[in-house]
Amino acid sequence: MAQPARETERIVLGLSGSSALPVGLRLLEVLLSTPGVELHTVFTEGARQVARNEFGLELDDLSRLRERLGISEIRAVAWQHHREDDLGAPISSGSFGVRKMVVAPCSMGTLAAIANGMSDNLLERAADVVLKERGLLVLVPREAPLSLIHLENMVRVARAGGVILPPVLTFYHQPEESSRAMVDFIVGKVLDLMAIEHQLYRRWGY
């Protein structure tokens, strides 16, 4: 059973360009509703394009985003959003003390950059910082089929200490053909890794 987060815990959530954007948006909703979380977010241009083209959503309009997600009250300690090009943001430094980061979804381009230590934008830099500080970096890559290059990049991240958590289909929790249930399962697995209590899916048991 996952344990609750510490009294105040800094978490970075990055969204990059992929059709699995609902996973990241649901994770944003849950983290903003979680007491004790100090949330820092950064969205890539790819994520903004996917949100605009596939969901009619402007990610940079934070008030509208909250409304679309149905978040009437933020229970997190704080929410600070950072521009992708703001390499001077606090999350770009190991001294800021972020130890947990999730990139959901993680595009293959973002995966490649992280796997090879690139820091061309704030999301990539923040991920690099979490890895070098021996924190928890969770990537939720969405692509099919996977090329050898994709797989090798995932191996590189895993060897560096990151966790690869692809949004695979699962049925033991009996989702009953609900896309929301599938999304909640993946989000719940991410929360498990971050030791945040949740009730998003039915756990295995008798």
User: Which of 43-52, 63-72, 118-127 is predicted with the least confidence, judged by mean pLDDT?
Assistant: 63-72
Would you say the pTM of this structure is higher than 0.85?
Answer: yes
Exposure b/e, 153-191, CB count within 10 A at least 16 = b:
bbebbeebebebbbbeeeeebebeeeeebbbbbbbbbbb
The CATH number of 9-193 is which of 3.10.560.10, 3.40.50.920, 1.10.1040.10, 3.40.50.1950? 3.40.50.1950
pLDDT tens profile 81-104: 999 999 999 999 999 999 999 999
Tell me how far apart the alpha carbons of residues 82 and 88 are, in angstroms, rounded to a whole number. 10
pLDDT tens profile 98-145: 999 999 999 999 999 999 999 999 999 999 999 999 999 999 999 989
